[in-house]
Structure 1
Amino acid sequence: MGGSLGPQHLQFLAQGAAWTLALSLVALLGGGLLGFALALCRVSPLRAVRVGTGVLVQLVQGTPLLVLMFLAFFGMPALGWRLTPFQAAGGALVIYTAAYLGEIWRGCIEAVPRPQWEAAEGLALSRLQRMRHVVLPQAVRIAAPPTVGFLVQIVKNTSLASVVGFVELMRAGQVLNNTLFQPFAIYAIIALGYFAMCYPLSLWSRRLEARRAAPARLAAAP
């Protein structure tokens, strides 16, 4: 056993990084759709809908992502549904992402100034029309920076998929280390891989935040 890192090992890590991005994309798309539905339910005029979805969100946010993955991979077969590691990890990440994006977007919807809501009501627009034409376009601009910032958390949390046997970047590194016994070099490369994926997202988030804050600074200037 043992050996030196070679091109084939780096290719294996690159394949793991590609699966990390694929899992992140699944979490973003699936969690984004479900999170948008949760956000709308959280601002629903029906109290029962608001309370019900609020309890659901708090339950998911109060449960570690690792536990969600274990429930999906080891618990679902007890109910007759056997999931692959990718399905289990992806499903858990979708639920986790939806709970957090739903709350982020709820806050952004509620951050739209009340005069905008009142003006839309004064135009006799229905609630659907108010949300579609007045509230949501403004909420999207508010939500862009925190949403992009949360993408960093999604990418990093995909590393937990290794516990259910899915070979993403972290699991690929573990497999290599069990063969080559070069933990420092292997995990340093893994750290650089996550940095390469997350740092551009962090920069993008800060730029979006600065762009959104610019009009407010101009308005406050004497």
Structure 2
Amino acid sequence: MGYQELTYLLQGLGWTLVLTAMAFVGGIISGVIVALMRVSRIALVRYIAIGWIGLFQGTPLLMQLFVAYFGLPLLGFDLPGWAAVGIALTAHASAFLGEIWRGAIEAVPKGQTEAADALGLHTRSLMFDVIMPQAFKLSLPATVGFLVQLLKGTSLAAIVGFIELTRAGSIVSNQIYQPLLVFGVVGAMYFAMCWPLSLWGRRIERRMSAGLAR
């Protein structure tokens, strides 16, 4: 495998990172909304969030990519491939992150809410100044773990023809007929991205466990 093939793989790696960043940032923004809807006191709002989470957690990511990539143009949305894939990954991330943060919000001790009510804090101030900062810390290990899964999940975009790292590896392998070498390099690239994140997530979890044990 020469310089040209390695450069092509690095271009695919760049798109993998772009898709992951798009989906994670979009998932954070929409996931917060889903989590707040999930813990809302309004039953209809809760049911909408439950339906959204159930839809994207209960169906394969590959199917969601197919629907976004091939279905959105049928509805009149003429989007480039990267945008359609990004939308599918963002919706997927919002459901999982929303549920992670819902659990973290509900894990905050009830005494915090009772104390805030006693002080007469507004609901918005209670959520964003008291509960959310604590919930963020509680959810951080699970959020990092999901980021690793999301990064690896971008490889499914290769099925719809989008050229990210896995698809680039397949193209290079078909050109030079060295699949073991090519996908060994591709696997090493994924490992180099995912392993540090996994270590970081475990370190955060250990620190939190040590803090709770004190």
Find out whether 1:66 has 2:62 as its counterpart.
Answer: yes
CA shift for structure 1 position 86: 0.6
CA shift for structure 1 position 9: 0.9
Find out whether 1:42 has 2:44 as its counterpart.
Answer: no
Instruction: Give the equivalent residue in structure 1 for 2:123.
Output: 127
CA shift for structure 1 position 19: 1.0
Find out whether 1:53 has 2:49 as its counterpart.
Answer: yes
Instruction: Give the equivalent residue in structure 1 for 2:203.
Output: 207
> What is the aligned residue count?
214
How far apart, CA to CA, are the structure 2 residues paired with 1:140 and 1:77? 37
Q: Write out aligned runs for 1:84-163 (5 A).
A: 84-163=80-159
CA shift for structure 1 position 199: 0.4
How far apart, CA to CA, are the structure 1 residues paired with 2:179 and 2:106? 47
Find out whether 1:165 has 2:152 as its counterpart.
Answer: no
Percentage of identical aligned residues: 48
CA shift for structure 1 position 42: 0.4
CA shift for structure 1 position 105: 0.4
* Structure 2 residue ranges without an equivalent (≥5): none
CA contact (8 A) 1:145 1:209 kept: yes
CA shift for structure 1 position 49: 0.6
Following superposition, which runs of at least 4 residues in structure 1 exceed 6 angstroms of deviation?
Answer: none
How far apart, CA to CA, are the structure 2 residues paired with 1:73 and 1:82? 10
Q: Deviations over 1:6-58 (max 9, x none)?
A: 11111111111111011100000111100110000001111111112101210
* Structure 1 residue ranges without an equivalent (≥5): none
The TM-score normalised by the length of structure 2 is 0.97
CA contact (8 A) 1:73 1:82 kept: no
How far apart, CA to CA, are the structure 1 residues paired with 2:9 and 2:16? 10
The TM-score normalised by the length of structure 1 is 0.94
How far apart, CA to CA, are the structure 1 residues paired with 2:29 and 2:75? 26
How far apart, CA to CA, are the structure 2 residues paired with 1:167 and 1:216? 45
How far apart, CA to CA, are the structure 2 residues paired with 1:215 and 1:155? 29
**Superposition CA RMSD, Å:** 0.9
Which one has a bigger Cα radius of gyration? Answer: 1
